Amino acid sequence: MTEAEGCALLLARFTEAGFTVASNFHFHEDDVEVDLDGWDAAARVGFEYITQEAGDARQFDPETLARFEARMEKGELYVLLVDEHDAVTADALDGAARAFLAEVAKRAPAGGAK
């Protein structure tokens, strides 16, 4: 599926889950500066569909990705990362989004990250 189709599906799932998602959000905190496909600034939850075409691979280089994931490790934010190389299908993406959101709810019962 295309990035646009994937992002539309994720937006629908995140919205259903109660998040107020802004599309194409420019995220810049400390030493991390990336563009996210969807981001709820209040809940600090979002999603990013990493594609070559959109130049995401350049933004999410290994170092940036490591810093970004370190923050998720600490529970400061939760962003579902979808790599286009992972043979994404609508069903699988839908299942992954639901599972991710359930995990977020488990880790941050108040509805978002710390």
Partner 1 sequence: MSWVPAEQVIAAVGNQRQVLAAEEARVAGFVQYHATERAKLEAERAQAIHDLGTAVLPRLDHASIAAAAQAVGLVGLPNENVPAQLETRRAWLASRLNAILHDPRYAQRELLRHPRTGSLTTAIAQNEEHRGPFAAIIVMCEQHPRFEGLWGSGFGTPEHSASWWRYSYWQDRSAADELVTKFQGKTSFAEVRDEYARAKETVLVFDGELRNLRAQIAEGEALDREYAALYEEHRTLDARGLEHTRSRIVQHLLGIDAAAVSQRLRSSPATSGLLMLFLRASGIAAKVSYLDGIQQANLGEIQKDIALQRERLDGVETRTRRRWAPMALDKFQKLAEDRRPRYEKRWQRFGKTYNTVYVYDRYDRGRYYEDFLWWDLFTRGRYDGSYLPEVHHYYQSHPGYAFDPDWKTRAAEQRAAESDTDDAGPNDAGPNDAGDVESEAAAAAAFADSSSDDGDTSGDTTTTDAS
Binding site for partner 1 (CB under 8 A): 69, 72, 78-83, 86, 88, 92-93, 95-96, 99-100, 103
Residue 11 or 88 having the CB closest to partner 1: 88
Residues 34 and 60: beta-carbon distance below 8 Å: yes
Instruction: Supply the minimum distance, in Å, between the C-beta of residue 3 and partner 1.
Output: 13
Instruction: Supply the minimum distance, in Å, between the C-beta of residue 86 and partner 1.
Output: 5
| Interatomic CA distance for residues 57 and 108, integer angstroms | 29
CB-based burial label for 64 (10 Å; 0-12, 13-18, 19+) = middle
Instruction: Supply the minimum distance, in Å, between the C-beta of residue 85 and partner 1.
Output: 9
